[in-house]
């Protein structure tokens, strides 16, 4: 039965409300977009967050977790939503044994997946198709990551190599870079072929830069839950095993490892700058959306560089004052590529050479 106008409005209202609970930063960025593009980005982000919650939650049974991700992927395998399958999927998640608190915003979002799907189902097909492709590839990649985690017999799951890290980041963030590029292109004829090529060239790198930044920022929390995405080969190169990442005797070498990863993330964010500056100035809302994401990430990396707090179990978080300053600066500089490059270099120089 088609959803009523009231039900659709309520579903969209839920999406606008829950985004502020699951990601204040993204809620800030998306506020600059308008129309179908804004709605598409909002619903797509929430779907990605739902998949990430399934992958990130500690389940007592790997097979329950795997089945949930596979069935989530199956929901997006065709243009027509199977509402019965969706309700069954939500019920399966509710009854599956897991350690996450049911009061958390992320878990509550999963419980309300049907409301996000209701809102998404009203989008034009071209936006739905882009979102479907992203979610099916992302969820499939997460199933592969889960299989690798379950095969590890030790307490912690490690990314063994930089290649492993890149593959993981591609699935959870590179796919999002591709999706956003498709949505931007669909939303405006101003993005002609030559601009599209620049965006496509840098879209995956943009996503990888953001994800590696998150890994650095959240490494202590991940470690406490039994996961470590910092490549094992990078730690061994600096003379310690992954189990010793937070041990006092390894702090100097651990900081070297984190700084090397910070530089890797910054190199990707250099591509993100090229991506953002390629967006035509008249599409200033899309430019600001991308630029805010970029500058909040590079500011986080600057804060993380040589920061002993990370290795003392403290997270990395830029201050609210810094966020407000970046927003004001981006709003003021958004039409000048030269000024934006100069502003970016103020953060980038604190991290080191591009390598």
For residue 172, the 8-state DSSP code is: I
What confidence score (pLDDT) does residue 248 get?
92
Classify 351 as helix, strand or coil.
coil
| Sequence-separated (6 or more) residues with CB below 8 Å from residue 127 | 36, 37, 39, 40, 183, 186
Band of pLDDT at residue 317, cut at 50, 70 and 90: confident
What confidence score (pLDDT) does residue 153 get?
53
What confidence score (pLDDT) does residue 150 get?
77
In DSSP terms, 158 is beta-bridged to 228
In DSSP terms, 98 is beta-bridged to 59
| Contact between 107 and 51 (Cβ < 8 Å) | no
What confidence score (pLDDT) does residue 355 get?
44
- More confident position, 317 or 321: 321
For residue 311, the 8-state DSSP code is: G
In DSSP terms, 157 is beta-bridged to 227
What confidence score (pLDDT) does residue 1 get?
54
Q: Which of 71-85, 219-233, 293-307 has the lowest mean pLDDT?
A: 219-233
What confidence score (pLDDT) does residue 68 get?
96
Q: Is the dihedral of CA 283, 289, 48, 258 positive or negative?
A: positive
pLDDT of 154 > 70? The answer is no
Q: Which of 112-126, 246-260, 313-327 has the lowest mean pLDDT?
A: 313-327
Give the integer Cα–Cα distance in Å for 240 and 227.
Answer: 17
For residue 121, the 8-state DSSP code is: T
Q: What pTM was computed for the model? A: 0.93
What confidence score (pLDDT) does residue 268 get?
98
Strands (E), the chain: 157-158, 227-228
pLDDT of 115 > 70? The answer is yes
Q: Nearest CA to 137 among 80, 175, 178?
A: 175
| Contact between 73 and 132 (Cβ < 8 Å) | no
Q: Which of 2-6, 16-20, 150-154, 206-210 has the lowest mean pLDDT?
A: 150-154
CA triple 218-223-225, angle to 5 deg: 100
What confidence score (pLDDT) does residue 56 get?
86
pLDDT in tens, 23-72: 988 999 999 999 999 999 999 999 999 999 999 888 888 899 999 999 99
pLDDT in tens, 258-306: 999 999 999 999 999 999 999 999 999 999 999 999 999 999 999 999 9
Domains of the chain with CATH codes: 1-124 (no CATH), 152-355 (1.10.600.10)
Q: Nearest CA to 297 among 270, 335, 332, 278?
A: 270
Classify 124 as helix, strand or coil.
coil
Q: Is the dihedral of CA 7, 8, 10, 15 positive or negative?
A: positive
Band of pLDDT at residue 155, cut at 50, 70 and 90: low
Band of pLDDT at residue 308, cut at 50, 70 and 90: confident
Torsion angles phi and psi, residue 158, rounded to 5? -120, 145
pLDDT of 181 > 90? The answer is yes
What confidence score (pLDDT) does residue 133 get?
97
DSSP 327-349: HHHHHHHTT-HHHHHHHHHHHHT
Checking phi first, is residue 259 left (phi over 0); if not, alpha (psi -120 to 50) or beta?
alpha
Q: Nearest CA to 170 among 219, 210, 110?
A: 210
Q: HEC string of 45-69?
A: HHHHHHHHHHHHCCECCHHHHHHHH
């Amino acid at each position: 039965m088609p959803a009523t106008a009231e039900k659709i409005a309520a579903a969209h209202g839920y999406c606008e409300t829950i985004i502020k609970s699951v990601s204040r930063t993204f809620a800030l960025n998306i506020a600059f977009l308008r129309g179908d593009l804004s709605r598409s980005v909002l619903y797509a982000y929430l779907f990605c967050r739902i998949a990430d919650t399934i992958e990130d939650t500690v389940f007592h049974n790997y097979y329950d977790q795997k089945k949930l991700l596979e069935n989530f992927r199956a929901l997006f395998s065709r243009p027509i939503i199977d509402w019965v399958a969706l309700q069954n999927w939500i019920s399966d998640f509710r009854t599956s044994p897991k350690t996450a608190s049911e009061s958390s915003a992320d878990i509550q979002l999963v419980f309300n997946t049907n409301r996000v799907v209701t809102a998404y189902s009203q989008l034009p097909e071209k936006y739905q198709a882009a979102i479907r492709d992203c979610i099916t590839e992302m969820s499939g990649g997460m199933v592969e990551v889960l299989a690798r985690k379950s095969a590890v017999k030790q307490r912690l799951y490690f990314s063994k190599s930089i290649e492993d890290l890149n593959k993981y980041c591609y699935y959870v963030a590179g796919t999002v870079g591709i999706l956003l590029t498709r949505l931007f292109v669909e939303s405006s004829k101003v993005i002609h072929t030559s601009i599209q090529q620049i965006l496509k060239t840098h879209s995956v790198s943009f996503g990888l830069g953001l994800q590696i930044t998150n890994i650095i920022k959240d490494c202590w929390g991940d470690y406490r839950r039994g996961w470590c995405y910092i490549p094992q080969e990078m730690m061994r190169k600096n003379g310690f095993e992954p189990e010793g990442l937070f041990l006092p005797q390894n702090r100097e070498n651990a900081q070297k490892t984190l700084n090397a990863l910070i530089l890797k993330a910054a190199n990707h964010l250099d591509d993100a700058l090229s991506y953002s500056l390629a967006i035509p100035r008249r599409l200033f809302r899309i430019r600001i959306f991308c630029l805010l994401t970029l500058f909040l990430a590079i500011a986080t990396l600057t804060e993380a560089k040589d920061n002993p707090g990370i290795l003392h179990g403290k997270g990395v978080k830029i201050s609210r004052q810094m966020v407000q300053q970046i927003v004001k600066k981006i709003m003021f500089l958004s039409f000048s590529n030269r000024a934006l490059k100069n502003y970016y270099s103020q953060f980038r120089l604190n991290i080191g050479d591009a390598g």
